[in-house]
Each structure stands twice: as C-alpha cells, then as structure tokens.
A = this chain, B = another copy of it.
Amino acid sequence: MRKASVISIGNEILSGQTVDTNALYLSGKLLSIGIPVVSSYTAGDDINLIVRMLGLASEDADLVLVTGGLGPTDDDVTRQALAKFLGVELQLKSELLEKIQNMFAHRERPMPERNKIQAYIPVGAKAIKNNLGTAPGIRAESADKLYFVMPGVPSEMKQIFEESVFPELKKFASKQAIVVLKLRCFGAGESVIAEKLGELMQRGRNPLINCTVHYGVVTLHIIVATAEGKGQAQEMAGKCEKMLRNALGELIYGTGEQTLAEVVGAKLAQQKKTIAVAESCTGGTLAKLLTDIPGASRYFTYGWVTYSNAAKIKELGVEADLIEKEGAVSERTAEAMAQGARKRAGTDFAIGITGIAGPDGGSEHKPVGLVYISVSSDGSCETKRFVFVAHSRDFIRLQAAQTALNMLRLKL
C-alpha cells in the first residue's frame, strides 16, 4: 500500500495568520482512495528548511504532496528548494512563459518582470497546468518517489489537484480500500463510552475505532485499514457498527455529519409533531440550533427568550410566588416555563431551560453550570438537573441546549 506525506509551505501558516486547510483537504481526498497520509510538515519560506522537510517526507512515504511558495514574490522559494533537493538546476520553459504572458494579456495588463520566475521548473520535472493562476504546479520523480508541488491558494491547489494530480494518484488507490464510518453519540463522556466498548477500542485492531469529542458530541470513527476490496471493507465496517450499536444503544444518535438538531427535527417532521422552546440561560441557543435546519418551520413555531423574571411571568405565566420561593433557577421554574410555553404555543412539545451560564452568578448551592431542563408533552413533564463543568459560558450554554435536544430525542 502506498503512503503519502503532505508538506505545507508559507510563513503565514506558521505565524498563525492562516489556517492550513490545504493539508486537511488533501488528507481527506487521499484517504478516500485508501492512501493514508502518515505525516505532515509545515515549513516557513526558507530553502534549507524546505529541503529538509522534503527529505523527511520522503523517508515516511512514497507520495509527497507539497503546497505553497510558488508565487512571484521574493519570499516564494519552493521551486528553488525542490531543485536543490533533487540536485538539479532550474530551467526556463518558453511555453510556460508564453502562457503566463497570455494570461496577463487576457487581463489587459502588462506582465510584471517578477512573474517570469514562474516559468522556471527543475530540469527533468514536468509542469502541471494551472487554469486559475499564473503559477504552474510541478511534478517530479526521484528514487521511486513521486513529488507533486501545487500553489498554496486553496482554489488553485484544488483545481490542479482534481484535474491533474488526483487522476494519477487513483492508479495507486489501495485495493484494500479504507472505509470510514462515523457514529455520533451524545449523553456520556468518552471514557464511559470507551469502557462500554472495552476491547473493541484496542489499538492494532482492524477495523480500528478512533474517538473524537466536540462540545459533548463523541464521534466514533470506524476505520477499516485492510480488507480485500471495498465490498469486504464495507461488510467489516457494517459488522463493527452493529457491535457498537449493541454496546451503546441509545447513546448513538446518528451517523456521518448528523447533528442532534437534525435528527430531532427529522423525527418531529416524520411524526408531524410541533415544538416550542422557552429559554433563559441559553438565550436563544436552542431556538438557533433548531432553526439551523432548513425546513424547521414544519415543526418549530414559537420561541421565547425569557431572560428576565418579568418575562417569565408575563410571557409564560410562571407564577411570581414560585420564582420568589424556589428561585428562577429551579426545577419547578423550568417545569413551569415548559408547560407555559406549550400551552401558549399550542404545540405537542415544549422545552424549558433555566440555569447559570456564568461566569458570575453562581453560589455554593447553585454553582455556575447548574441547569434545569424540562420537556413537556401531552400528559407528562420530565425535568432534569445537570451540572455542566464550567469550561466557559459558551460551553455551558451549548451543552445545555444539546442536552435538551437529546432529552427530546429520547422521548420521540
């Protein structure tokens, strides 16, 4: 199986000014044809450093993909570094120069002298056509390794990659195709999930299960590293998925890129049910998550952000006495908010959320992160107490809104 390594070049990446989306894009594309990216490197615009990185990448992999440093300005030195690494000179290609001149003529501008450098490539290498910019890509071979150098501008890189590089790399597509299947979980931390999965998550297994966490959503990646062809790989992934589903049950809410709001919205639409929300500490976060989904108007009709006590009393009919006695952040206030919202909006379900998002406003008995969530439906009202660890105000708010969606999901 061929392996790849990716090198990103540019001071702007190392200075924290630009996110390196090129390496991400290339890794995803390569993985899709079963070529794993085993390492990636970033270098500033420095000839010696780039030469060193080319050497390192060549140790790791058979295919080396380089982006950046092909521009016309003095800080662009990738083509010089590639020539030095290959031990050859740069050579002016008249047909490339002509193309660059035509490009400027088309834009009705004279070609600045400094663009001439883009017509030079290392002796023995080939230029790769760039339809969008003046810098051609470069393809070189050396000691059984293949090098593809592309511009750093993402649109140009992608165009060159898709048109010229990817078709060639497909020849090396591993027959042992890698299938990546994602299962999305909510309602337990990664260590609890790992414990439930036990040896299924051990290193070196095939399929391998990787785990990532993003704002409380635990994603399990099922990666089939070796299989005889794509059919077998899919079958192996499918079997593994079944085992994970058996072990985790309701903790798994979806697959692929699905969000909780998407899954909940689809269930509401399918069952022709409607929902209203009454939010205090989350301040609109839950309504926003629900309405992020196109077509949410089929099931979402009303939302209240009752940030003040007066609003809770006036808009939702929460009793002033209740707030006085139990506090705005209490089980019974959450319940009254949910019930008031459901009654007022005339929906099948309503959610009430009240809590302390911080950073201020916490006390010993009611710490920052304390949130009550109530889900009211015809004939029942379930209210739960949570203490979200105080990462940040944003985290607590999002976590509370997601947890509310999850409570509703389990009811649907």
- Give bound CA distance, A307 to B265, whole Å: 15
Interface membership of A310, Cβ < 8 A: yes
* A19-B19, A39-B43, A73-B201 known, 17 other contacts, Cβ within 8 Å: A13-B40, A14-B40, A16-B25, A16-B26, A16-B28, A39-B41, A56-B56, A75-B201, A112-B194, A112-B195, A132-B389, A282-B291, A283-B288, A284-B284, A287-B287, A288-B288, A291-B397
The interface residues of chain B lying within 8 Å CB-to-CB of A26 are: 16
Interface of A, secondary structure class, is mixed
Interface residue stretch chosen among A137-145, A207-215, A404-412 = A207-215
Interface membership of A84, Cβ < 8 A: no
Interface string of A378-405 (1 = CB under 8 A from B): 0000000001011111110100000000
- Give bound CA distance, A106 to B364, whole Å: 12
Known contacts A28-B15, A284-B303; A106/B39 CB under 8 A? no
Min distance, Cβ A51 to any Cβ of chain B, angstroms: 13
Residues of A292-338 at the interface with B, using a CB-CB cut-off of 8 Å, are: 292, 294-297, 300-308, 310-311, 315
- Give bound CA distance, A103 to B191, whole Å: 14
Interface membership of A31, Cβ < 8 A: yes
The interface residues of chain B lying within 8 Å CB-to-CB of A201 are: 73-75
Min distance, Cβ A178 to any Cβ of chain B, angstroms: 9
- Give bound CA distance, A307 to B74, whole Å: 44
Q: Quick one: closest B residue to A112, CB to CB?
A: B191
Interface membership of A71, Cβ < 8 A: yes
> Are B43 and A42 in contact, with the CB atoms below 8 A?
no
